[in-house]
Structure 1
Amino acid sequence: MSESSFLAPQHQIKGQVAIITGGTKNLGGETAKELARLGSNLFLHYRSDQKQAEDFKQELNKKYPEVTIELYQGDLSDDESLKKLYSEAKSKFPKGIDIAINNVGQVIKKPIIEISEQEFDSLDDKNNKIAFFFIKNAGLNLNNNGRIISIGTSLLAAYTELYGGYQGTKAPLEFYSKAASKELLPKGITSNIVSPGPMETSFLLNSEPKQAVEYFKTVALHQRLTQVSDIVPIIRFLVTEGTWITGQNIFANGGFTSPK
């Protein structure tokens, strides 16, 4: 018996539609696999690697032939590009969108005094602006009782150097998500953030020196990095049984940091 069969009818997502940005690799890709396992149809955004995205789609189609999967390539950068994302999703799935998950983000690890205006603008676009307009357009387009999940960072609870540009441009996400959770109550739409600790993906391993990665391990449970498999079940919960949770930022990092 599959796990989805144990869910109460009001918590099942079989036949629903999920938009996932960055949805073909790392956390977004593993989230897509889990929602497909539960029978959700998928509209998966990716930015550049078309072959990887198509291979990923074929993999899911083979394993879950009953699930409809559509790919969408685009450089999300402003309100208009987010409007187009949702418009294209609704054209492929006329019954509408039920789940919206945003994985877009960028890290630049530098002292504040070394960050150029161009680098700041790039951080601000990816971590702040896209986050805002993703939530805005989700609120405008999701079906009643939909779910919005934004991926944040546990560094928002860290007292540290070198991540000021990243932390500063990620911080507004918490206020956008909380405000949306109140504003969308009449439609039954929830809005939450999941904030992982340093996660063992190519994104982290290619951007951090080995000594930093080893340090991250020493300050978390079991002396290891956050795994994608630690985070996917939390996302799954928020779109199934966790429907009474809204306006929250869930820090999932094995004790790496703890918000006040």
Structure 2
Amino acid sequence: MNDHTTTRVALVTGGSGGIGRAVAERLAGDGIAVAVHYAGNRARADETVTAVTSAGGRAIAVSGDVADEHAMSAAFEAVEREFGGIDVVVNTAGVMHLAPIATLDLDELDRMHRTNIRGTFVVSQQAARRVRAGGAIINFSTSVTRLSFPTYGAYAASKGAVEAMTLVLARELRGRDITVNAVAPGPTPTPLFLQGKDQATIDNLAKAAPLERLGAPQDIAEVVAFLAGPARWINGQVLYANGGLV
């Protein structure tokens, strides 16, 4: 096992998903040991671990409901046991239900609140207690907090809460040499994004940005890698990664 003092360690929640997997692979490419967190899909998490290790990186899979503080405490402890500490926490785990505010099923509102708000809070709380000096905490918002697309009301509201707690945590960690930022992707073709959209909708979103394409998970992973490594003077910010859409 490598020297714990020289190897940076990252925990990526939702690491079996589209953006989460791209983030895990990108960070591993920078020499960071990666813990790939999953909630229910062990097979996809194992695929991400295999992709990292076959490319010469170090990775393990850890599981747990992000909204369950006991499960996440255990997940963080598992990472610390394996790799000796945690330097970077990237919280990509999230759920999205789209409907007009007038008709949204309130059970879906509660589900988004549990994963997107409580889950981000639980992960941020563990990160605030455990991340080592020189580290980074990176939460995930969405560009829809500015775009204000119809049917995104509840989802955008949950991500607005993520932005609020992210900016407060950056100030609460004064003196710890830990940056806290949020990444707000624009349209990115992941299963979460593609669900329920017809081709015309997808094409229109692709043309909306000046760069005239959708983002790729790797585009978002580049922003995370920047915040996780060299970007030590960016703190308490929301970075919009959307090709100029807003």
Q: TM-score, normalised by structure 1?
A: 0.88
Distance in 1, Cα, partners of 2:88 & 2:226: 12
Task: Show the counterpart of 2:10.
Answer: 18
Letter in structure 1 aligned against 2:168: A
Q: Does 1:75 align with 2:65?
A: yes
- The CA deviation at 1:210 is 2.2
CA distance in 2, matches of 1:229, 1:55: 17
Counterparts of 1:1-260 in structure 2 under 5 Å?
15-64=7-56, 67-93=57-83, 95-257=84-246
Question: What amino acid sits opposite 1:69 in the alignment?
Answer: A
Question: Could you list the runs of 5+ residues in structure 1 that have no partner in the other structure?
Answer: 1-12
| Displacement after TM superposition at 1:113 (Å) | 1.7
Q: Give the unaligned 5+ runs of structure 2.
A: none
Q: Give the partner amino acid of 2:40.
A: S
Distance 1:159 1:22 in 2: 25
The Cα shift of 1:83 comes to: 1.9
Amino acid at match of 1:215: N
Shift, 1:99, TM fit: 0.4
State how far apart, in whole Å, the 2-side matches of 1:92 and 1:126 are: 26
How big is the shift at 1:46?
A: 1.2
Cα drift, residue 240 of structure 1: 1.5
- In structure 2, the residue corresponding to 1:187 is in which secondary structure? coil
- C-alpha displacement at 1:131, in angstroms? 1.0
The DSSP-based 3-state class of the residue aligned with 1:233 is helix
Please give the alpha-carbon distance, in whole angstroms, between the structure 1 residues aligned to 2:235 and 2:174: 9
1:25 Cα deviation after fit:
3.3
Q: Which residue identity lines up with residue 86 of structure 1 in the other structure?
A: F
For 1:49 and 1:79, the matched residues in 2 are separated by 20
Alignment-mate amino acid for residue 26 of structure 1: G
C-alpha distance in 1, partners of 2:12/2:244? Answer: 27
Could you tell me the TM-score, scaled by structure 2's length? 0.92
The two structures, once aligned, show a CA RMSD in angstroms of 1.6
**Identical aligned residues as a percent:** 27
